[in-house]
Amino acid sequence: MLAWFGLFGRIGSGTGGEVFKGKWRSIPVAIKRIDISRLDLDGSNNNNDSLRREFEMMAKVGNHPHIIPFIGVCKDDCIVYIVMKLCEQGS
């Protein structure tokens, strides 16, 4: 399932997960890795529905000058990978 992108060095981490530099179709991307088994996003342990709604909203935003472009999402067991444009000078 994860064959469509490559993970490289970790560039950050926090309570929400880890962020890695990666490649998608030879394009540099940022990939956030989240263990959803450790989350309770809406207080009901219904993480899949909450995440799906969030990703649908991100996809609808499209290309906006003040928002980092969302490329896609991939789920492998309890791990979700969020793929976004890499901002080399970001923080």
With contact defined as beta carbons under 8 Å apart, do 74 and 2 qualify?
A: yes
Q: What is the pLDDT of residues 30-53, one digit of tens each?
A: 998 888 777 655 555 555 677 777
pTM: 0.74
% residues pLDDT > 90 (the chain):
9
